[in-house]
Structure 1
């Protein structure tokens, strides 16, 4: 049976974003494998502490939110491994298997002009140039060369889903404070 490391209970910051999960123990000295949800996990690697919540599925070895100070995180092969002063053995690392990792927004690098974090686009209302509502961003898909906005809209009791490529050819503007996106798109596309 895995023994749980001594981690402090805390509240999840209101601006925290889920950025990965702990996959499994790595080695015998308390290191663990990390699965990042981004191909460029700068925020995960820059944050001095992570907020952990139990796995959504499987065994739950702790409840609520705990804080994990990060001692070191580095690339190993094609994945990440990390350690903490609070995780001193393989048993401790195994007890964290599946834990969801959240990072406070203050540790995210500033987005360049015209760049947006996906999490910031979720929930924005998309309108076309004529002001007609096309839907609300409920998801984003990476199709390789481009990202696609997945919109949801309820009309006459039916939910309609639309997909719009998130590229300059179709997106006129993104107004994060105004929670809107203007697109060169029509209802019948």
Structure 2
């Protein structure tokens, strides 16, 4: 294959997942990572990733249902057909996300960044890499997983408190600097 015929896939972002079926007319239950959760319904074309395969579907309806969301996939009017989508991740091209202000960052942009702190002598320590953020209600929490070169093999949960714990976020340089006792 020559380079002219190669196609590059746009970078994709996981917005949520399909967790099950709803009703008998082809609706699915949706778990959303967007904030607010209904923002996932603003995207009418979803790429579903499941078992190593991807397919693009069109969402023709969606709404809140109880504490969650439900959506209808165009052309899917049967519960048994809808069931095949259960467990699929919902992705979109990163380029479809709305632009951010200069001081904002999407959570997915933090994943994989090195997380660094300093010891009492001011020596820089690598705690690990940012895995993801969790919402806890009080404040968001950064999950840090050990990586090659990290201080130890521990997983750490650090509150996402800007200017208190989170001192610097530099995705271009690949790191997050925090004020955190490595023994905690």
CA contact (8 A) 2:63 2:69 kept: yes
CA contact (8 A) 2:127 2:152 kept: no
Q: What is the aligned counterpart of 1:140 among 125, 133, 140?
A: 133
Corresponding residue number in structure 1 for 2:22: 26
- Gaps spanning 5+ residues in structure 1: where? 1-10, 57-62
Distance 1:145 1:110, change over 3 A: farther
Q: What is the aligned counterpart of 1:163 among 157, 161, 166?
A: 157
Shift of residue 174, structure 1, vs aligned partner: 0.9
Corresponding residue number in structure 2 for 1:124: 113
The range that moved more, 21-30 or 116-125, is 21-30
- Gaps spanning 5+ residues in structure 2: where? 1-6
Question: What aligned pairs does 1:170-185 form with structure 2 within 5 A after superposition?
Answer: 170-185=165-180
Shift of residue 111, structure 1, vs aligned partner: 3.8
Cα deviations by residue, 1:59-92 (Å, 9 ceiling, x for unpaired): xxxx611110111221122221111223132332
How much is the aligned-residue C-alpha RMSD, in angstroms? 3.0
Question: What aligned pairs does 1:34-183 form with structure 2 within 5 A after superposition?
Answer: 34-38=30-34, 40-41=36-37, 43-54=39-50, 64-128=53-117, 130=122, 132=124, 133-151=126-144, 152-153=146-147, 158-168=152-162, 169-183=164-178
Shift of residue 109, structure 1, vs aligned partner: 3.3
TM-score (norm 1): 0.73
The range that moved more, 93-102 or 110-119, is 110-119
CA contact (8 A) 2:12 2:91 kept: yes
TM-score (norm 2): 0.74
The range that moved more, 37-46 or 166-175, is 37-46
Shift of residue 51, structure 1, vs aligned partner: 0.9
The range that moved more, 69-78 or 110-119, is 110-119
